[in-house]
Amino acid sequence: MTGEVLRVTATDAALALIDRLAAKHGPLMFHQSGGCCDGSAPMCYGRDEFIVGDYDRLLGHIGGMPFYISGPQFEYWQHTQLIIDVVPGRGGMFSLEGPEGLRFLTRSRLFTDEEWAVLEAEEAK
């Protein structure tokens, strides 16, 4: 297998919403913390409105915006690609998409053996 393996990606609908939110709010960032309630959904913030913690990990970028995950949550989800999507409804009360009548949603799929080998080789560097 050749090429980059992305740990996080986004659907076209999510990318369109990211563009709309960035036009309104400026640079954005995402954080997936895990847990219950709002913590189980990806949260979208203005780039300077959320302090990334020491155990948070940069998973990648979607729509040019950084996407972080908490360290403990990464341990659970490290074998999956996160696919950020959008569905109708209200999201987390602090997430910027709430007033849009939409919410971000994390879907996932397991990496193939070939993709996992690429990721492990990258981590070993």
- Say which residue the tokens 């076209």 belong to: 12
What integer pLDDT is reported at residue 104 of this predicted model?
A: 93
What integer pLDDT is reported at residue 105 of this predicted model?
A: 92
Strands (E), the chain: 8-10, 28-32, 43-46, 57-62, 65-69, 80-88, 102-110
What integer pLDDT is reported at residue 80 of this predicted model?
A: 96
Look up the pTM and report it: 0.91
| 102-to-78, 79, 93, 120 alpha-carbon distances in Å | 27, 28, 12, 35
Mean pLDDT, contiguous 10-residue spans, the chain (125 residues):
86 98 97 68 92 94 97 92 93 82 93 95 87
